[in-house]
Protein backbone atom coordinates (compact mmCIF):
# COMPACT_ATOMS: atom_id res chain seq x y z
CA UNK A 1 0.00 0.00 0.00
CA UNK A 2 0.81 3.75 -0.01
CA UNK A 3 2.09 3.91 -3.57
CA UNK A 4 2.75 7.23 -5.25
CA UNK A 5 3.48 7.57 -8.95
CA UNK A 6 4.93 10.39 -11.00
CA UNK A 7 4.73 11.07 -14.70
CA UNK A 8 6.85 11.54 -16.64
CA UNK A 9 9.91 9.97 -15.07
CA UNK A 10 12.15 12.17 -17.16
CA UNK A 11 11.64 15.05 -19.57
CA UNK A 12 13.86 17.16 -21.76
CA UNK A 13 12.55 20.49 -22.97
CA UNK A 14 13.73 23.65 -24.66
CA UNK A 15 14.28 26.85 -22.75
CA UNK A 16 11.12 28.94 -22.60
CA UNK A 17 8.67 26.08 -22.78
CA UNK A 18 6.43 24.79 -19.98
CA UNK A 19 6.47 21.32 -18.50
CA UNK A 20 3.77 19.60 -16.46
CA UNK A 21 4.56 16.86 -13.95
CA UNK A 22 1.84 14.68 -12.46
CA UNK A 23 1.80 13.11 -9.01
CA UNK A 24 -0.77 10.45 -8.16
CA UNK A 25 -1.54 8.53 -4.99
CA UNK A 26 -2.55 5.14 -6.36
CA UNK A 27 -4.13 3.37 -3.41
CA UNK A 28 -5.06 6.09 -0.98
CA UNK A 29 -6.49 9.57 -0.94
CA UNK A 30 -4.36 12.53 0.00
CA UNK A 31 -5.72 15.94 0.85
CA UNK A 32 -2.15 17.15 1.11
CA UNK A 33 0.69 16.53 -1.30
CA UNK A 34 4.11 18.12 -1.38
CA UNK A 35 6.58 19.06 -4.10
CA UNK A 36 10.32 18.93 -3.56
CA UNK A 37 13.36 19.50 -5.71
CA UNK A 38 16.70 17.84 -5.26
CA UNK A 39 20.02 18.86 -6.77
CA UNK A 40 22.80 16.31 -7.25
CA UNK A 41 24.43 15.16 -4.02
CA UNK A 42 22.00 17.24 -1.98
CA UNK A 43 18.97 16.60 0.17
CA UNK A 44 15.35 17.33 -0.63
CA UNK A 45 14.17 20.92 -0.52
CA UNK A 46 10.48 21.56 0.00
CA UNK A 47 9.04 23.83 -2.67
CA UNK A 48 5.34 23.90 -1.84
CA UNK A 49 2.44 22.24 -0.12
CA UNK A 50 -0.40 21.25 -2.41
CA UNK A 51 -3.85 21.27 -0.80
CA UNK A 52 -6.82 19.62 -2.45
CA UNK A 53 -9.42 22.18 -3.41
CA UNK A 54 -7.42 25.21 -2.34
CA UNK A 55 -4.35 27.21 -3.26
CA UNK A 56 -0.90 25.79 -2.76
CA UNK A 57 1.37 27.16 -0.07
CA UNK A 58 4.85 28.02 -1.30
CA UNK A 59 8.06 28.04 0.68
CA UNK A 60 10.08 31.20 0.94
CA UNK A 61 12.03 31.92 -2.21
CA UNK A 62 9.90 29.72 -4.49
CA UNK A 63 8.15 31.67 -7.25
CA UNK A 64 4.49 30.71 -7.33
CA UNK A 65 4.01 32.11 -10.82
CA UNK A 66 6.81 29.97 -12.14
CA UNK A 67 5.88 26.75 -10.40
CA UNK A 68 2.13 26.35 -10.81
CA UNK A 69 0.50 23.73 -8.63
CA UNK A 70 -2.96 22.29 -9.04
CA UNK A 71 -4.52 19.71 -6.71
CA UNK A 72 -7.86 19.09 -8.35
CA UNK A 73 -8.64 15.73 -6.78
CA UNK A 74 -7.72 13.65 -3.74
CA UNK A 75 -5.35 11.54 -5.81
CA UNK A 76 -3.74 13.97 -8.23
CA UNK A 77 -1.50 16.99 -7.94
CA UNK A 78 0.30 18.62 -10.85
CA UNK A 79 3.35 20.86 -10.97
CA UNK A 80 3.85 23.01 -14.05
CA UNK A 81 7.23 24.62 -14.56
CA UNK A 82 6.48 27.65 -16.72
CA UNK A 83 8.98 29.27 -19.06
CA UNK A 84 11.61 26.79 -18.03
CA UNK A 85 15.27 27.76 -18.03
CA UNK A 86 18.41 25.64 -17.69
CA UNK A 87 18.69 26.52 -14.00
CA UNK A 88 15.32 24.81 -13.46
CA UNK A 89 16.93 21.51 -14.40
CA UNK A 90 16.64 19.30 -11.37
CA UNK A 91 15.08 16.18 -9.88
CA UNK A 92 11.50 16.95 -8.84
CA UNK A 93 9.89 14.66 -6.29
CA UNK A 94 6.34 14.68 -4.96
CA UNK A 95 4.95 13.09 -1.84
CA UNK A 96 1.48 12.36 -0.55
CA UNK A 97 0.59 12.54 3.11
CA UNK A 98 -1.48 10.01 5.00
CA UNK A 99 -3.23 12.08 7.64
CA UNK A 100 -3.81 9.35 10.21
CA UNK A 101 -0.11 8.51 10.53
CA UNK A 102 1.34 11.90 9.53
CA UNK A 103 3.59 10.02 7.12
CA UNK A 104 4.63 11.08 3.64
CA UNK A 105 5.12 8.59 0.83
CA UNK A 106 7.24 9.69 -2.07
CA UNK A 107 6.97 9.30 -5.80
CA UNK A 108 9.88 8.02 -7.89
CA UNK A 109 10.81 11.51 -9.04
CA UNK A 110 10.96 13.31 -12.38
CA UNK A 111 14.26 14.32 -13.93
CA UNK A 112 13.84 17.62 -15.76
CA UNK A 113 16.51 18.80 -18.15
CA UNK A 114 16.08 22.20 -19.79
CA UNK A 115 18.27 22.82 -22.82
CA UNK B 1 12.28 26.19 9.08
CA UNK B 2 13.27 23.53 11.62
CA UNK B 3 16.84 22.47 10.93
CA UNK B 4 18.07 18.91 11.21
CA UNK B 5 21.76 18.19 11.32
CA UNK B 6 22.68 14.78 10.01
CA UNK B 7 26.08 13.17 10.50
CA UNK B 8 28.29 11.89 9.15
CA UNK B 9 27.86 13.09 5.59
CA UNK B 10 29.71 10.11 4.16
CA UNK B 11 30.37 6.66 5.58
CA UNK B 12 32.35 3.89 3.91
CA UNK B 13 32.69 0.59 5.72
CA UNK B 14 33.52 -3.03 5.07
CA UNK B 15 30.82 -5.66 4.84
CA UNK B 16 30.03 -7.05 8.28
CA UNK B 17 30.87 -3.87 10.20
CA UNK B 18 28.36 -1.81 12.13
CA UNK B 19 27.45 1.82 11.50
CA UNK B 20 25.46 4.59 13.12
CA UNK B 21 23.95 7.69 11.57
CA UNK B 22 22.88 10.60 13.73
CA UNK B 23 20.20 13.22 13.30
CA UNK B 24 20.11 16.18 15.69
CA UNK B 25 18.06 19.33 16.09
CA UNK B 26 17.30 22.03 18.61
CA UNK B 27 13.64 21.78 17.64
CA UNK B 28 11.02 19.31 18.82
CA UNK B 29 9.31 17.23 16.17
CA UNK B 30 5.95 15.49 16.33
CA UNK B 31 7.55 12.50 14.62
CA UNK B 32 10.73 11.62 12.82
CA UNK B 33 11.06 9.54 9.71
CA UNK B 34 14.00 7.74 8.14
CA UNK B 35 14.20 7.21 4.41
CA UNK B 36 16.60 5.49 2.08
CA UNK B 37 17.10 6.80 -1.44
CA UNK B 38 18.76 5.14 -4.41
CA UNK B 39 20.21 7.27 -7.24
CA UNK B 40 17.51 8.51 -9.61
CA UNK B 41 14.67 7.33 -7.39
CA UNK B 42 12.43 8.80 -4.73
CA UNK B 43 13.03 8.23 -1.00
CA UNK B 44 11.57 5.04 0.44
CA UNK B 45 10.22 5.16 3.97
CA UNK B 46 12.06 2.91 6.43
CA UNK B 47 10.41 3.85 9.70
CA UNK B 48 8.45 6.51 11.56
CA UNK B 49 9.16 7.12 15.24
CA UNK B 50 6.67 9.11 17.24
CA UNK B 51 7.19 8.66 20.97
CA UNK B 52 10.16 10.09 22.84
CA UNK B 53 12.55 7.28 23.78
CA UNK B 54 11.04 4.95 21.22
CA UNK B 55 13.18 2.20 19.72
CA UNK B 56 12.17 0.38 16.56
CA UNK B 57 13.91 -2.52 14.90
CA UNK B 58 13.69 -3.48 11.27
CA UNK B 59 15.81 -6.61 10.76
CA UNK B 60 19.40 -5.35 11.10
CA UNK B 61 18.33 -1.70 11.42
CA UNK B 62 17.63 -0.12 14.79
CA UNK B 63 16.07 3.33 15.08
CA UNK B 64 15.95 5.44 18.22
CA UNK B 65 14.03 8.62 18.93
CA UNK B 66 15.44 10.84 21.67
CA UNK B 67 13.49 11.36 24.86
CA UNK B 68 12.95 15.02 24.02
CA UNK B 69 11.98 14.21 20.41
CA UNK B 70 14.79 16.37 19.06
CA UNK B 71 17.22 13.73 17.86
CA UNK B 72 17.35 10.28 16.40
CA UNK B 73 19.82 7.62 15.34
CA UNK B 74 19.93 4.79 12.85
CA UNK B 75 22.17 1.83 13.62
CA UNK B 76 22.90 -0.91 11.11
CA UNK B 77 24.37 -4.16 12.37
CA UNK B 78 26.55 -6.34 10.15
CA UNK B 79 26.16 -4.08 7.14
CA UNK B 80 25.83 -5.65 3.71
CA UNK B 81 26.53 -4.21 0.23
CA UNK B 82 22.76 -4.02 -0.27
CA UNK B 83 22.62 -1.41 2.51
CA UNK B 84 24.50 1.03 0.29
CA UNK B 85 22.48 4.18 -0.35
CA UNK B 86 21.58 7.67 0.80
CA UNK B 87 19.93 7.71 4.21
CA UNK B 88 17.77 10.69 5.06
CA UNK B 89 16.17 11.68 8.32
CA UNK B 90 13.17 13.98 8.27
CA UNK B 91 11.41 15.67 11.15
CA UNK B 92 7.68 16.34 10.96
CA UNK B 93 6.31 19.74 12.00
CA UNK B 94 3.17 21.58 10.92
CA UNK B 95 2.35 18.73 8.52
CA UNK B 96 5.64 19.30 6.67
CA UNK B 97 8.96 17.49 6.70
CA UNK B 98 12.33 19.05 7.30
CA UNK B 99 15.09 16.90 5.86
CA UNK B 100 18.61 16.42 7.06
CA UNK B 101 21.42 16.72 4.52
CA UNK B 102 21.66 12.96 4.16
CA UNK B 103 24.32 10.35 4.80
CA UNK B 104 25.82 8.48 1.87
CA UNK B 105 26.61 4.97 3.05
CA UNK B 106 28.87 2.70 1.04
CA UNK B 107 29.34 -0.90 2.14
CA UNK B 108 32.28 -2.60 0.45
CA UNK B 109 32.15 -6.32 -0.21
Q: Which residues in chain A have their CB less than 8 angstroms from residue B92's CB?
A: 102
Q: Which residues in chain A have their CB less than 8 angstroms from residue B100's CB?
A: 43
CB contact under 8 A, B95 and A97: yes
* Tens of pLDDT, residues B24-34: 999 999 899 99
Rounded CA-CA distance B3/A66 in Å is: 26
Nearest of B49, B41, B101, B44 to residue B74 by alpha carbon: B49
Q: With an 8 Å Cβ cutoff, is B48 touching chain A? A: yes
Cα dihedral across residues B56, B91, B28, A71: positive or negative: negative
* Tens of pLDDT, residues A73-97: 999 999 999 999 999 999 999 999 9
CA distance A60 to chain B (A): 10
Average pLDDT over residues B15-25: 97
Amino acid sequence: GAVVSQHPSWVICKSGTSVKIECRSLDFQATTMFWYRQFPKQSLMLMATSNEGSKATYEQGVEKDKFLINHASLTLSTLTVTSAHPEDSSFYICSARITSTDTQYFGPGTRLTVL
Amino acid sequence: TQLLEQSPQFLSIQEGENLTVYCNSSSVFSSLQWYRQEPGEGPVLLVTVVTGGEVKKLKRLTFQFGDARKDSSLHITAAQPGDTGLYLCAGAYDYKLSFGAGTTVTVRA
